[in-house]
Amino acid sequence: KAGVTQTPRYLIKTRGQQVTLSCSPISGHRSVSWYQQTPGQGLQFLFEYFSETQRNKGNFPGRFSGRQFSNSRSEMNVSTLELGDSALYLCASSLGPRQLYNSPLHFGNGTRLTVT
Amino acid sequence: AQSVTQPDIHITVSEGASLELRCNYSYGATPYLFWYVQSPGQGLQLLLKYFSGDTLVQGIKGFEAEFKRSQSSFNLRKPSVHWSDAAEYFCAVGAQDAGKSTFGDGTTLTVKP
């Protein structure tokens, strides 16, 4: 079974631009969550989607948004990029919303975003 | 709200030596506990999990962890470390009322030859 796939692996953007990251979950997994990882803040929860609906949201500004498609694939978008948005963005999938806290998360290898 | 503390930011051990990584959690009810490992440039991989039952759980790659309710701890151990174990290790607690897992800040393990 294929794992969680994130594209692209690396991105370089300039301040003020916007960016879209993509995540394909493990087949059969309907929940997708996103995390931001930085050396200073560690792993920070961004949001979680299930059945095309955002079910949980972390403490991030509205510039960070996401969506999920009917095939469970998910995208996250960051608008008006700031230098502080440079990070590794990780996507994780799990079976369903009730499993987000009591089941292991399956992570992709992440997208490394650099904002210059 | 639940929280996780990993007191050691960085640990260095010699290859073949034993390892213990500390994890303390804060949560009012019975927690779901996880340890993940992250190699450079990779995502996180589950090492082991605790839901209930036997407080000593076995994981992959020879790791084990012990749940101690009285100490609110879930420390990760390995009897003999291999150079390939060098990575960052994350403890996480899953809380039903939050509907998600909360991660600690991680412990970076360096293995000396």
Instruction: Write out pLDDT tens, residues B30-44.
Output: 788 999 999 988 899
Structure tokens at A54: 């955002």
Top-confidence residue, A55 or B48: B48
Q: Taking the C-alpha atoms of B41, A85, B103 and A91 in order, what is their torsion angle to the nearest 10 degrees? A: -60
Structure tokens at B97: 């009322």
What integer best gives the mean pLDDT of chain B? 92
Alpha-carbon gap, residue A116 to B7, rounded angstroms? 33
Alpha-carbon gap, residue B84 to B86, rounded angstroms? 5
Distance between B100 CA and the closest CA of chain A, angstroms = 4
Any B CB within 8 A of A62 CB: no
3-state secondary structure chain A: CCCCEEECCEEEECCCCCEEEEEECCCCCCEEEEEEEECCCEEEEEEEEECCEEEEECCCCCCEEEEECCCCCEEEEECCCCHHHCEEEEEEEECCHHHCCCCCCEECCCEEEEEC
Specify the pLDDT at position A4.
96
Q: What is the pLDDT of residues A17-57, one digit of tens each?
A: 999 999 999 999 999 999 999 988 889 999 999 889 998 89
Q: What is the pLDDT of residues B62-110, one digit of tens each?
A: 999 999 999 999 999 999 999 999 999 999 998 776 667 889 999 999 9
Q: What is the pLDDT of residues A64-112, one digit of tens each?
A: 999 999 999 999 999 999 999 999 999 999 886 655 567 788 999 999 9
Of A77, A72, A71, residue with least CA distance to A21: A77
| Secondary structure class of B86 (helix, strand, coil) | coil
Q: Which of B4, B44, B47, B90 to mutate to test the interface with A (most CBs of A within 10 A)?
A: B44
Q: Which residues contact B28 (CB under 8 A, 6 or more apart)?
A: none
Any A CB within 8 A of B106 CB: yes
